[in-house]
Amino acid sequence: MLKQLVIVGLVVSFAGSAAAAPPGPGPETRQNHREMREDRHEARENRGELRDDKRDLARLKSLHASYRNAIKHPRRNDRLIGRLEKNFLNELRTEARETRREIGKAGAEVDRSKREVRDSRREVHRDGYRADDRRDLRDDKRDLRDDKRDLRDEVRSQRRLDDLRAEFRRLEGVMHRRALARKAELMAQAVDLARAEVQGDKEEIREDRREKREDRRERREDRRGY
């Protein structure tokens, strides 16, 4: 009899403690936490890319200035000009690799934003069109539009870079005045592309800050939901 009472007491105690245990985070909270981790990772990458692109811009500007000085010098050094042209083509090859990597990253961000829009739509339908869910869906749709725009910009930049590099290679080593002037123009276009890349990085960082504010708001909503 005593053994039975002990067993019953243990069962009741276990059931009471299980009932008192707080519920774990729901699927919406887990999704928000995952998106926050992804946003933080993306923000770190964007800051690193801004530093790298600023260095690339500085190198291209310096190379362009050296080339202009070399082709205008009264005692023109064709060997120096040839070295500068090879250095420029090396820079373009590096830029092309980086742009291809950026296209891959932009495509992955579009896929991620599409997934977040699908998740937000499910939340809206599941929770009865709550105001905060509708706001999250609007934010995710805006992020998807931004990511698609970034992907288009990267593809357009890659095409311009490929065209620029192809033309410069055709003129490499040609030392008459018109060819030299055209190659200086192509270098200036490359500087413009690099400058646009830096501006794009700055815009990405501004978007990261906006997403960070949205993440903070979602954390507050998650805490109120428990």
CA distance 113 to 109: 6
104 falls in which pLDDT band (50, 70, 90)?
Answer: very high
pLDDT tens across 69-95, in order?
A: 999 998 999 999 999 999 999 999 999
Q: Does the predicted model carry a pTM greater than 0.85?
A: no
What is the arithmetic mean of pLDDT over 154-174?
94
Mean of pLDDT over the chain: 82
71, 180 Cβ separation under 8 angstroms: yes
Q: Which residue has the higher pLDDT, 24 or 177?
A: 177
User: How many other CB atoms sit within 10 Å of the CB of residue 100?
Assistant: 13
pLDDT at 5 over 70: no
pLDDT tens across 174-187, in order?
A: 999 999 999 999 99
Closest CA to 47 of 193, 212, 213: 212
Q: Can you say whether the dihedral through the CA atoms of 81, 83, 89, 95 is positive or negative?
A: negative
197, 108 Cβ separation under 8 angstroms: no
